[in-house]
Chain A
Amino acid sequence: MAITLAQFWDNLAQTYGPIFSERIPPLLIQHIQLVLMATGIAIVIGVPLGIILTRPALRKHSQKVLNVVNIGQAVPGLALIAIFLPILGIGYIPAVVALVIYGLLPIVRNTIAGLDGVDDKIKEAARGMGMYNNQVLWQIEFPLAFPIIMAGIKTSAVITVGTATLAALIGGGGLGRLIFAGISLFRPEFILAGSGTAAVLAIIIEKGLSLFEKVVVKERMPLDF
């Protein structure tokens, strides 16, 4: 029994060892770069967009903008990448552009939901005490909306990890290459290795962002609220 188990591990190592030691690391790094870059840009665009759309002057336009952003996610990832192929060509940059558009919606939507969800009474108290509008935003609204905005960022990042596998189709690199190679070569272990690693990456990124959130909010909140 013990011998067969050892043999099994041996076989496993012989089959998968090279994939893990040689193929995966560079692809994983590419993948992480894609995800970080795309999510980073999506945050830089999405959070301010959400904030602007909750200000009184622009609030009435928020639904229109959300509809447009929605299109980004309504279109299948593969189609989105295909659409950008004739416009931006192939490579890393077109892949990032497509991923940003794809990941924008959860961030914008949650930023709006988070800021809108702050109790009017609390905002009124803040204004009534003589805070300027930007003080109300940064001292009151943003901290209170932060957990919901973070949830949007986490969703976006996790989606992007999955969608980024498609980047391989337009020469954007990443774990997708392993998956598509596996499909073309009928090598299921390649497919498993690629998608499995992407899944683990998604979990790690999600946990990492949760940890970041905890560190930022720290002991500010002894109780959930």
Chain B
Amino acid sequence: MIRLDGVGKDFGDFTAVRELSLEIPEGKTCVMVGPSGCGKTTTMRIVNRLIEPTRGTVYIDGEDYKKKKVEILRRDIGYVIQEVGLFPHRTIAENISTTPKLAGWDDKKIKKRVDELLDLVELDPDENRNKFPRQLSGGQRQRVGLARAMAADPPVMLMDEPFAAVDPITRENLQNMFLRLQRKMKKTIVFVTHDINEAIKMGDQIAILKQGELVQADTPEELLANPKNQFVADFIGVDRAIKILDLFSTDEVMWTEAPVIKKQSMQDEARKLIESGEKGIPVIVEDEQGKKFWFDLDELEKEGSLEDIIRPLEITLDPTNSIKLAMARMLEHNNDAVLIKGEEDEEPGILTLRGIRNYVYRICESSPGEKVGK
């Protein structure tokens, strides 16, 4: 766990970071994001004391980090920087073994670790071990930078715009690879970026900074749903509603208690539902073969003819899929609903376009972000 306790940094008259307190739980990724000059990189570099804080201190696992010798402290903090900073005169293997060598590991152990790490970042060890950084592509160098930072298995990692210098496709590959790794490694990570989309994708927690001050630190979901002020709303962007789609899973939005009726007697059962006062809900229709269809009760009231509005439920998704994916499938199939698989013996749920619309609108309304884009 990392706890920043009122840290601040002045460079002469200029205050880069005012007074920042933040707690990053063990095994979580905290993304610091903000416009350039907001103090995010300064804050990150305070954590490994490349910059000495003017005020405040940092506690790592409850211990004041100034008690440790600075070089020793840094060996327990993996460091990935923008444009990688690989040593051009050293081979890939030598680059990766920097920290283990400083820590005094024996050669055999280092050699094994290098191969293991190259595998981990999806580079062929035999092919790349003895190459020099110049001989690799930007994306490959970035992978080596990551491997080098993880070499001595530090519990904490600092990442300063690690994927900024590569093309969008490579960046996405690297992000996904890193998310896969982090799921296994559970490191405590401070990640700096200026890209809000990357922040939302990578972060368990997002800290938005402005002119050396922490404006809001929250989970991505909370941040999108309740931006604290206009600055945060602006920073998240006008497409906040679209970004929300990526963050919530289908089981959070689906109907779990949609009535299921038989196809043979659907006319009667539908009428009964309307008479019992049900409104605005999707209804699942099942035929003898177990094939599923659906219709919207409101639409039935308007159109009157069930035959016209009933549609097959062709798409089935997992409850963990994002609503963005669900929406994409709906658009592809020109259908307003998808079926969501039930867990174990649970009944399946149904996710409708109208449901998504209402859900996103509920999140966005009454928060300052609503004004954005008007």
Binding site for B on A (CB under 8 A): 119, 121-122, 124-132, 135, 140, 143-144, 220-223, 225
Residue in contact with B85 in the complex, picked from A124, A130, A220, A222, CB distance below 8 Å: A124
CA–CA, A69 and B346, complex, Å? 85
Q: Is the CB of A126 within 8 A of B74?
A: no
The reply on B29 being an interface residue by CB < 8 A is no
Q: Is the CB of B98 within 8 A of A129?
A: yes
Residues of chain B from 41 to 80 with CB closer than 8 A to chain A in the complex: 48, 50, 71-75, 77, 79
The reply on B216 being an interface residue by CB < 8 A is no
Residues of B within 8 A of A222 (CB): 132, 135
Residues of A within 8 A of B89 (CB): 143-144, 220-221, 225
Q: Is the CB of A130 within 8 A of B87?
A: no
Residues of chain B from 62 to 117 with CB closer than 8 A to chain A in the complex: 71-75, 77, 79, 81-89, 98-99, 102
CA–CA, A129 and B74, complex, Å? 6
Between B74, B87, B132, B134, the greatest number of chain A beta carbons within 10 A of the residue's beta carbon is seen for B87
Q: Is the CB of B88 within 8 A of A130?
A: no
Q: Show 19 A/B contacts (Cβ-Cβ < 8 Å), sorted by A.
A: A122-B85, A122-B87, A124-B50, A124-B81, A125-B87, A127-B50, A128-B48, A128-B81, A130-B71, A130-B99, A130-B102, A131-B98, A131-B102, A220-B89, A221-B89, A221-B132, A222-B132, A225-B88, A225-B134
Q: Is the CB of B75 within 8 A of A122?
A: no
With A121-B85, A144-B87, A225-B134 known, 4 other A-B pairs at CB within 8 A are A121-B81, A122-B88, A124-B85, A223-B132
Q: Which 5 A-B pairs have the closest CB atoms?
A: A125-B85, A130-B75, A130-B74, A128-B79, A121-B85
Count contacts on B: residues with CB < 8 A to the other chain. Answer: 27
Residues of A within 8 A of B74 (CB): 127-130
Q: Is the CB of B81 within 8 A of A131?
A: no
Mask for B226-241, Cβ within 8 A of A = 1, else 0?
0000000000000000
CA–CA, A9 and B74, complex, Å? 73
User: Which residue on chain A has the smallest CB distance to residue B149?
Assistant: A129
Residue in contact with A121 in the complex, picked from B75, B83, B149, B158, CB distance below 8 Å: B83
CA–CA, A131 and B135, complex, Å? 25
Residues of A within 8 A of B77 (CB): 128
Residues of chain B from 140 to 155 with CB closer than 8 A to chain A in the complex: 148-149
Residues of A within 8 A of B132 (CB): 221-223
Q: Chain B: interface secondary structure?
A: mixed
Measured CB to CB, the closest approach of chain B to A149, in angstroms, equals 14
Measured CB to CB, the closest approach of chain A to B183, in angstroms, equals 25
Residues of A within 8 A of B83 (CB): 121
Measured CB to CB, the closest approach of chain A to B253, in angstroms, equals 43
CA–CA, A126 and B95, complex, Å? 10
CA–CA, A221 and B90, complex, Å? 9
Residues of A within 8 A of B87 (CB): 122, 125-126, 140, 144
Residues of B within 8 A of A143 (CB): 89
User: Which residue on chain A has the smallest CB distance to residue B98?
Assistant: A129
Q: Is the CB of A129 within 8 A of B99?
A: yes
Q: Is the CB of B75 within 8 A of A128?
A: no
Residues of A within 8 A of B71 (CB): 130-132
Residues of B within 8 A of A223 (CB): 132, 134-135
Measured CB to CB, the closest approach of chain B to A129, in angstroms, equals 5
Residues of B within 8 A of A122 (CB): 85-88
Residues of B within 8 A of A124 (CB): 50, 81, 85
Measured CB to CB, the closest approach of chain A to B166, in angstroms, equals 16
Residues of A within 8 A of B85 (CB): 119, 121-122, 124-126
CA–CA, A140 and B86, complex, Å? 10
Residues of chain B from 261 to 302 with CB closer than 8 A to chain A in the complex: none
Residues of B within 8 A of A131 (CB): 71, 98, 102
Residue in contact with B88 in the complex, picked from A126, A132, A135, A144, CB distance below 8 Å: A144
CA–CA, A30 and B242, complex, Å? 83
CA–CA, A119 and B99, complex, Å? 20
Between A124, A125, A143, A144, the greatest number of chain B beta carbons within 10 A of the residue's beta carbon is seen for A125
Residue in contact with B79 in the complex, picked from A125, A132, A135, A140, CB distance below 8 Å: A125
User: Which residue on chain A has the smallest CB distance to residue B91?
Assistant: A220
User: Which residue on chain B has the smallest CB distance to residue A123?
Assistant: B85
Residues of A within 8 A of B86 (CB): 122, 125
Residues of B within 8 A of A130 (CB): 71-75, 99, 102
Q: Is the CB of A121 within 8 A of B82?
A: yes
CA–CA, A55 and B80, complex, Å? 25
Residues of A within 8 A of B149 (CB): 129
Residues of B within 8 A of A221 (CB): 89, 132
Residue in contact with B75 in the complex, picked from A125, A129, A225, CB distance below 8 Å: A129
CA–CA, A182 and B87, complex, Å? 55
CA–CA, A129 and B99, complex, Å? 6
User: Which residue on chain B has the smallest CB distance to residue A119?
Assistant: B85
Q: Is the CB of B79 within 8 A of A129?
A: yes
User: Which residue on chain A has the smallest CB distance to residue B48?
Assistant: A128
Between A121, A128, A130, A223, the greatest number of chain B beta carbons within 10 A of the residue's beta carbon is seen for A130
